Amino acid sequence: MIGKESHRSIAQRLQQDAFWFRQRGALLSFMILGLMLLFLSLFLGERFVSTTNIANLAGQLAPLFLVSLGQTFVLLGAGFDLSVGAVISLTTAILTLDFPDVFKLPLAIAAAVTVGLVNGVGCVYLRVHPIIMTLATSSIVQGVALILLPTPGGIAPQVLVTAASGTLFGLPAGFYWIIAAAALSIWVVHGTKYGVRLYATGENPQSAWINGINAPSIRISTYVISAMCAAIAGAYLTGRLASGDPNVGIALGLDSILGAALGGTLLSGGVGGPIGTIAGVLIIGLLNNGLNLANISPYYQFVFKGAMLIAAVSLFRRKEAGL
Amino acid sequence: MTRSLRNLPPAFWGLIAVGVLAAFTQPQFLSLPFLMILLRQAASIGIVALGQTFVVANRSLDLSVGANIAFVNLILAHAMWSGYHPFVAIVVALAAGTFIGFANGVLVTKLRASAVVVTLGTAAIITGIGFLYTGGAPGSSISDLVKWLGRGRVGIVPVAGLVWLGFAIAAFIIMRRLALGRFIYAAGDNPFAALFSGLPVDRTLLASHTLCGFFAASGGVLLSGLIGVGSINLGADYVLSSITAVILGGAVFGGGAGGAVGTVLGTALLVTVLNLLTVFGVGEPGKLIMQGLVIAAAAIIYQQGRRNG
């Protein structure tokens, strides 16, 4: 007869097994990251391992961290969000409007939540394919951003400039944004009931629904989280640039998918997580940083990035081919 | 009768609505010379969208068409062709574009990775190679033969329009008259059912990606001819436009709907709407918003129809 205690230990073991099964990609990403760190510090030495370079890296990578972590939620829920880049652009446009500062931040967050809700409702209740839905909203949101702020310019709220480009205890502000975002998303995914429901929904929405999980609202919530992360990234970028740029988000939209995919998060849902994404974003950052420091043509960055993306996704074979 | 009416792509009704709107507000918009200008402009988007139709009907996607067009443009505008017959440059450019499609197909079928990520990856690689190949400078001039293809006219009809017609007929034959088309729709509708029925699912997907690469490169040749010079980042907006045209044509990731005719109508609707907006004085941001609304509306309407039907 199995006692109550051993039931619990079996459940715990199953949970641990599931955790490692889902994080198998992250393990590999961290190994690649370790090799890159070793390689870069050996070959570039002081140029790479210097406080200025690391501080610089943290400042540059913070926005990508924020959007990639948001994108990870959507991917875990078996969705896809191409609109994050446009939301970043919209946020910088709103934050540099000629408006009292007190209203701008709530307005930007409200705009992002609206975009997330529209994405979520379109994908979940109207059953439009996530790629099409978010492509459509991204086009609309980018258009709105360009109407609000036709050319780069405007003045960022002073609060954001301080929060994004100041230093605290000798570390750049971007570092704290990264730590906060990483800690919060790891806690939400691995430490709350929401995280358990998210994995269940991503793996199989029907079974999740049968087991009493409100899968539709979980899926919608992932789009809202992703849009809010994009808005925070937009706020950080606005502060760092101290002005607005309606096209600032375009490159980040695709890089967010790259960061999550390099970290072992599958695009089919339910596998991966924010821990891997941290490694994925760091790999992108170190690659760019290393190539810059080694004076290699920036054009190679495109080639390397693309090759790494394909290599990363090829490590996890799926049954089906296609989307 | 009602069933065949319902099976018409969203673009058909859209075109009628836009035509009526234009007839009442901007009659000169519907004059023959202006329509021929539209046709010349639509041809390159139209061919790229026809290529995109193969992969979308096959439940896949090609996000590298923009990079493919840019690469074709860089090849055509490169100074190394000055000593050769212009035909050679076109063949090399088309071969390169077709190879990009083939590579996408191999990666998607062999690695079993998501087509979205794979084609984003190849797009980045192609862009990088293009920059390295040209040193970041947009090449020199483009041969007269390519310019004739892009801008020339036979009588009143633009050459590009005739090329588009040729590609549309070819796409129609492939999708509705050849076994390959049957395979594409079957594999797109239900890949596993197709596989268990013994269809060559992987080779079909490889073929549709290769065709998409070839069509994108052909569209790139026409666009290069229309622009007439080498240009960095040509065709970046063609990714969105081609997908919009395909969705308006009624093909949404499998489901057996849509096809060459739908995509041609979808392209016509897209180009007409964008130009009509220009006539009404709407700028780029307004066009982006309109394009997004149109995609969302077409996709939602189509999806609701499928659930009820």
Name the residue among B112, B123, B296 with its Cβ closest to that of A136: B296
CA distance A261 to chain B (A): 8
pLDDT of residue A4: 61
Query: Per-residue pLDDT for B191 more than 60?
Result: yes
pLDDT of residue B307: 58
The answer to whether A321 contacts B253, with C-beta atoms less than 8 Å apart, is no
Report the mean per-residue pLDDT for chain B.
Answer: 86
**What string of pLDDT tens digits covers the 323 residues of chain A?**
555 666 667 777 777 777 777 777 777 788 888 888 888 888 877 777 777 788 888 888 889 999 999 999 999 888 888 899 999 999 998 888 777 777 888 888 999 999 999 999 998 888 888 888 888 899 899 889 888 888 787 777 777 777 777 777 767 778 888 889 899 999 988 888 888 888 888 888 888 888 888 888 999 999 999 999 999 999 888 888 877 788 888 878 878 888 888 888 887 777 888 888 999 899 888 888 888 888 787 788 888 888 887 887 777 666 666 67
More confident residue, A164 or B241: B241
The answer to whether A302 contacts B109, with C-beta atoms less than 8 Å apart, is no
**What's the gap between Cα A40 and its chain centre?**
25
The answer to whether the beta carbons of residues B224 and B112 sit under 8 Å apart is no
**Of A68, A121, A135, which to mutate for an interface test with B (greatest number of B Cβ within 10 Å)?**
A135
Domains in chain A (CATH in brackets) are 32-314 (1.10.3470)
How confident is the model over B165-181, as pLDDT tens digits? Answer: 999 999 999 988 899 98
pLDDT of residue A3: 57
Name the nearest CA neighbour of A196 among A23, A67, A18.
Answer: A18
- Tell me the C-alpha distance between B54 and B49, whole Å: 9
pLDDT-derived band at B3, boundaries 50, 70, 90:
low
pLDDT of residue B48: 95
Q: Of all residues in chain B, what percent carry a pLDDT higher than 70? A: 94
Cβ count near A158 (within 10 Å): 11
The answer to whether the beta carbons of residues A253 and A138 sit under 8 Å apart is yes
Domain spans of chain B?
35-301
Say whether residue B296 is in contact with chain A using an 8 A CB cutoff: yes
Mark B58-82 as b/e (b = at least 16 C-beta within 10 Å). Answer: bbbbbbbbbbbbbbbbbbbbbeebe
The answer to whether the beta carbons of residues A246 and A198 sit under 8 Å apart is no
Which positions 65-124 of B are in contact with A (Cβ < 8 Å)? 107-109, 111-118, 120-124
Sign of the Cα pseudo-torsion (B296, B299, B302, B308, in order): negative
Q: A318 contacts in B (CB within 8 Å)?
A: 112-114
pLDDT of residue B1: 44
pLDDT of residue B4: 58
Say whether residue B304 is in contact with chain A using an 8 A CB cutoff: yes
- Tell me the C-alpha distance between B121 and B111, whole Å: 13
pLDDT of residue B280: 84
- Tell me the C-alpha distance between B47 and B120, whole Å: 21
Say whether residue A138 is in contact with chain B using an 8 A CB cutoff: yes
The answer to whether A147 contacts B202, with C-beta atoms less than 8 Å apart, is no
The answer to whether the beta carbons of residues A29 and A264 sit under 8 Å apart is yes
Which CATH code is given to the segment(s) B35-301?
A: 1.10.3470
The residues pairing with B141 across neighbouring beta strands, listed in sequence order, are: B229
Taking the CA atoms of residue A138, residue A265, residue A126 and residue A147 in that order, the dihedral angle to the nearest 10 degrees is -10
pLDDT of residue A318: 66
The answer to whether the beta carbons of residues B294 and B244 sit under 8 Å apart is yes
Name the residue among B117, B128, B304 with its Cβ closest to that of A300: B128
pLDDT of residue B309: 39
Say whether residue A128 is in contact with chain B using an 8 A CB cutoff: yes
Name the nearest CA neighbour of B75 among B90, B60, B57.
Answer: B90
Query: Per-residue pLDDT for B237 more than 50?
Result: yes
Say whether residue B134 is in contact with chain A using an 8 A CB cutoff: no
Q: Which of A128-132, B116-120, B247-251 has the lowest mean pLDDT?
A: B247-251
The answer to whether A299 contacts B128, with C-beta atoms less than 8 Å apart, is yes
The answer to whether A301 contacts B108, with C-beta atoms less than 8 Å apart, is no
The answer to whether the beta carbons of residues A285 and B111 sit under 8 Å apart is no
Q: Both tokens of residue A209?
A: 């629904």
pLDDT of residue B125: 92
Dump the DSSP string for A148-215: H-SSSB----HHHHHHHH-EETTEEHHHHHHHHHHHHHHHHHHHSHHHHHHHHHHH-HHHHHHTT--H
pLDDT-derived band at B216, boundaries 50, 70, 90:
very high
Name the residue among B107, B108, B117 with its Cβ closest to that of A261: B117
Which residues have C-beta within 8 Å of that of residue B157, sequence separation ≥ 6?
B36, B39
pLDDT of residue B104: 94
pLDDT of residue A192: 85
How confident is the model over B269-291, as pLDDT tens digits? Answer: 999 888 888 888 888 888 888 88
Which positions 248-287 of B are in contact with A (Cβ < 8 Å)? 252-253, 284-287
pLDDT of residue A221: 93
